[in-house]
Chains A and B, each alone.
Chain A
Amino acid sequence: MQTTTLILLLGAMTFIAFYLGRSRSLATVGGAAKLAKLHSLPGYYGYYAAIWVLLPSLALVLLWTIVEPRVIVALIIKSLPQAEQDLSAGELNLLVNNIRNLATGDVVSGDISVLLREASVRFQELTATSRQLLVTLTLGFAVFGGAYAYRRIAPGFRARNRVEQVVSAFLIAASSIAILTTIGIVLSVLFEAIRFFREVPVTEFLFGLTWSPQTAIRADQVGSSGSFGAVPLFTGTLLITAIAMFVAVPVGLMTAIYLAEYSTPRIRAITKPILEILAGIPTVVYGFFAALTVAPFVRRAGEAIGFDVASESALAAGLVMGIMIIPLVSSLSDDAINAVPRAMRDGALALGSTRSETMLRVLLPAALPGIVGGVLLAVSRAIGETMIVVMAAGLAANLTINPLEAVTTVTVQIVTLLVGDQEFDSAKTLAAFALGLVLFVVTLGLNVIGLKVVRRYREAYD
């Protein structure tokens, strides 16, 4: 029986359990007329029975699908001759894969030996047994759970409280998924990064000046010594981020000011949705535009005034990234400016200052912390931005601050190191996780500070 069929069957049983539970509760008090004798509404007894049918059996199915493959592989390995059991982990893995592929009818690498054939038959048998066992056990759990719940239904039984306990448990579990995600990110990135730092010293990674992540497949290979000095990536990231901020901060801030102070309601009504569209365009689309339209334009413009511009210049990527970030800066600045009490603005205007003076000398200084917090969030966004730089910035790790040259960034390198098939435990792939760790720590720091500052100043004037 397929897992989907099983789950559908469980669903049907749950429904039946609900109706049985509900009618049972009514029956115990002798019909709907004597409803008041029940502790809870009849529906709760139904839910109670349904929960007992569904939860234990579903938990079993889930556990089974996680544990089953591992157990079967372990049993298969145990049944192999001693010679095969002593193979190295990699070869054993290959053998098991072949057995599994033969059993499921996939392509097998190499010849099909008798051993392989026997093992694959055993694999099929084990899988079939496991399926049968799962179906029987699951249905057994469902029936027993339902029967247990059914028997407990009595007029004084506090079904509502039980059901509500389950509901609260589900709510708590759901809200802790966010925490689990963070823990998962930290652990997965950290563990692989530690493995990387065993091969490459932390100091070399953080302060080395050359980045050329080749690792040798054979010992005698030419250029086998990879070097993992990430400084060129950091400077490249900072350069592109700086260009983006150079565009986004003045433009975003002035947009916010203009829309808040000067524009007519009509212009505001047109401009705000346009900025929202800018924020909603997928980054891969910005990347396409940067690579195919902006980069050639920057190159031609540079040539026209006598500069030699690389076709994948930091300038093109940074400009487009800056435009992408304008809406973020403008909306956060808008919030910060609006949080300044109206009395300060009115006071400044009443003393005879012009609107620009009010803005520059009174409102902006008061809103500055909030704006700085917003800029920090924008910087974090720019550092973590991937698609624009993958498509429009280069791969060459140049240590330069010239915006007309091609630079590479942390995110570009993570992508290039991990796209494509690679051995997972080489220093090359692990380096991506080390870069990911740096990226995560830096953006987390910026976000924590930025969010805190933005929130504090919003509250300070409330």
Chain B
Amino acid sequence: MAHVDAERTKRLVEASLGARHRRERLFQVAGFLATTVGVVFLAIFFWTLIAQGYSAFVQTFVKLDVEFSESELAPAGTLDLQYANFDALARSAFREYFPDVTGRSDRRELNKLLSVGPSYAIRDAIEQNPDLVGTTVSMWVPAAAIVDMLVKENIDRNLPESQRPLTDQQIAWVDRLIERDALDTRFNTALFSNGDSREPELAGIRGALMGSFYMLLITIALAFPIGAAAAVYLEEFAPKNRWSDLIEVNINNLAAVPSIVFGLLGLAVFINWMAIPRSAPLVGGLVLSLLTLPVIIIASRAAIKAVPPSIREAAFGLGASRVQVVFHHVIPLALPGMLNGAIIGMSRALGESAPLLMIGVVAFIVDVPSGFSDPATALPVQIYLWADSPERAFAERTSAAIIVLLGFLLLMNLAAIIMRKRVERQW
């Protein structure tokens, strides 16, 4: 009987084998497809980002032969810039290209091709070199965003006139400028030297970068020492009791609390209770340090745990006190790992925006902050603000700002990887 049963089992198994192997292959294919989802998404993501953003790093400039007329800049014989109309200088220089444009409304249409930027450039030039008065100088100044978009072919010429921001007449004017070699595409310095602006051609990320920089400075100055000290205490000093269990559970949970809740905490405690000014990097830095503290503590504890007990025992054996063991032997060995955790925490803080919206970092701020209590915005928040703007030129700049942000994150993560390579030592 047993013999017959074995035969039957064998037959059954062989009969089902095809189906089972098909299922096996199906499962494997499903796994492969799932794995590609992330990869494909990332490829599409970077492709659209770069395709949209690379053009923001260059900008269309227009050549103006600016006459620094005495009547405008030095009406009383000496240089007097208080009432000088730089805009008029820029416009009259621009109109040189179009002697045939005379009507008021035509001129207004024409002026829309010129940004308000040239007037600043002219003022800077005369302030740096007052001798320019009475001379005519050839300057390259940024053109208006619509011209920029047309030159970069982000605006389709073939659309009906009502569906594009430029009229046929304006396009003809731009073409005339191109013919006369008065337009040129150059590196977009405004993007890195200016603060925010309502005019896309003048908007830059410098204000946001500086804001982020000040915030991160406060974050690293607070979160790293406190986080490292907390980790040292929990690993090396804390008695195993309820209190240290509570702290441990608490830190793990804090790491998973939604970041926006930290924003609520910052609003209620730092702004309403402590009366720290809104929008200041100080309050942003404080909130971000609370946010990164758990990350740093968890990473630092792992680094301290990795130091083998034999090091401690040897130091104890030579008569060192507990504090000496920790500060002279454990911490120096764990430091690369702790710094690694600090960098991970910082890169999280750099990308964080939700809690900053709560504490007023979201305002429109033109000036580049120069201290911890100036109103400021942060790079991710600037991205959020620009993403809301309808102009095509801002969409391009948003992508560029994202590329810059991701570049910084990449640098930080590279530093962390290098640090990790140094940590991975065999004892």
Contacts and interface: CB of A to CB of B under 8 A. Distances in A.
Contacts of B61: none
Interface string A358-394: 0110000000000000000100110111110011000
B38 A411 contact: no
B321 A436 contact: no
Interface string B365-406: 000000000000000110110010000000100100010011
A59 interface: no
Nearest to A253: B34
Interface stretch (B113-121, B165-173, B180-188, B245-253): B245-253
Interface stretch (B91-99, B124-132, B263-271): B263-271
A181 B31 contact: no
A178 B34 contact: no
B42 interface: yes
A451 to B, nearest CB: 6
A326 B395 contact: no
B39 interface: yes
B413 interface: yes
B178 interface: no
Interface residues of A, number: 90
Interface stretch (A145-153, A166-174, A400-408): A166-174
Contacts of A159: none
Contacts of A129: none
Contacts of A259: 35
Contact of A172 (B31, B233, B383): B233
Given A175-B230, A285-B402, A448-B253, A184 B265 contact: yes
Q: Pick the most buried of B20, B30, B258: most chain A CB atoms within 10 A of its CB.
A: B258
Contacts of B384: 284, 287-288, 387, 390-391
A261 B35 CA distance: 12
B34 A250 contact: yes
B274 to A, nearest CB: 8
Nearest to A66: B274
Q: Main secondary structure on chain B at its contact with chain A?
A: helix
A406 to B, nearest CB: 16
A288 B260 contact: no
Contacts of A26: none
A281 B381 CA distance: 14
Given A184-B269, A284-B353, A444-B253, A175 B264 contact: no
B49 to A, nearest CB: 8
B365 to A, nearest CB: 14
Contact of A178 (B247, B268, B327): B247
Given A258-B28, A282-B353, A323 B261 contact: no
A414 B31 contact: no
Size bin of chain B's contact surface: 35 or more
Q: Pick the most buried of A178, A252, A258, A377: most chain B CB atoms within 10 A of its CB.
A: A178
B254 A283 contact: no
Nearest to B227: A174
Contact of B253 (A275, A418, A451): A451
Interface stretch (B81-89, B153-161, B213-221, B354-362): B354-362
Interface in A434-462: 436, 439-440, 443-444, 447-448, 451
A251 B238 contact: no
A377 B253 CA distance: 10
Interface stretch (B67-75, B197-205, B290-298): B290-298
A354 B293 contact: no
B226 to A, nearest CB: 5
Interface in A165-199: 167-168, 170-172, 174-179, 181-182, 184-185, 188-189, 191-192
A176 B247 contact: yes
B399 to A, nearest CB: 8
Contacts of B3: none
Contacts of A101: none
A360 B27 CA distance: 10
Given A181-B254, A185-B262, A381-B256, A282 B351 contact: yes
A251 B38 contact: yes
A380 B254 CA distance: 12
Contacts of B275: 69
Contacts of A119: none
A443 B257 contact: yes
Contact of B256 (A171, A288, A414, A443): A443
28 contacts: A69-B275, A167-B323, A170-B229, A174-B226, A175-B247, A177-B293, A179-B247, A188-B269, A254-B34, A255-B34, A255-B37, A257-B31, A271-B35, A274-B38, A280-B409, A280-B413, A282-B380, A284-B351, A284-B353, A284-B381, A289-B49, A323-B38, A381-B258, A384-B259, A386-B259, A418-B263, A433-B268, A451-B256
Interface of B: 13, 20-21, 23-24, 27-28, 30-35, 37-39, 41-42, 44-45, 48-49, 225-227, 229-230, 232-234, 237-238, 246-247, 249-254, 256-265, 267-269, 272, 274-275, 290, 293-294, 297, 321-323, 327, 347, 350-354, 357-358, 362, 380-381, 383-384, 387, 395, 398, 402, 405-406, 409, 413
Interface of A: 66, 69, 160, 163-164, 167-168, 170-172, 174-179, 181-182, 184-185, 188-189, 191-192, 250-255, 257-259, 261-263, 267, 271, 274-275, 277-278, 280-285, 287-289, 291-293, 323, 326-327, 352, 354-357, 359-360, 377, 380-381, 383-387, 390-391, 411, 414-415, 418-419, 424, 432-433, 436, 439-440, 443-444, 447-448, 451
